Amino acid sequence: MRIIIGITGASGMIYAWRLLEVLRQKMLEVYVIMTHPAEKILIHELSKKPSEVYALATGYYDIDDLTSPI
């Protein structure tokens, strides 16, 4: 099963982070797409870099890539 997580710039980044941790433990195929505001909120709320979020996932899609399969 492929799971795609879209992360927006809304507050509550801890929920996205925790979900990714749990899905990783279950060894599921998880892909992330994150908006530019989300990257800023991530740094502000969790003091983490986008690369740290992407490391929890199987892969990620760039928000600006209009040719991505999702």
Domain parsing of the chain, residue ranges: 2-61
Q: Among candidates 53, 7, 60, which has minimal Cα distance to 29?
A: 60
The DSSP output letter for 26 is T
Structure tokens at 22: 């749990």
Distance between CA atoms of 58 and 48, rounded to whole angstroms?
18
The model's pTM is 0.88
| Model confidence pLDDT, tens digit, residues 1-43 | 899 999 998 889 999 999 999 999 999 999 999 999 999 999 9
Whether residue 31 contacts residue 2, with contact meaning beta carbons closer than 8 Å, is answered with: yes
Instruction: Render the burial of 42-61: b for 16+ CB within 10 Å, e for the rest.
Output: beeeeeeebeebeebbeebb
Per-residue pLDDT averaged across 38-63, rounded?
96
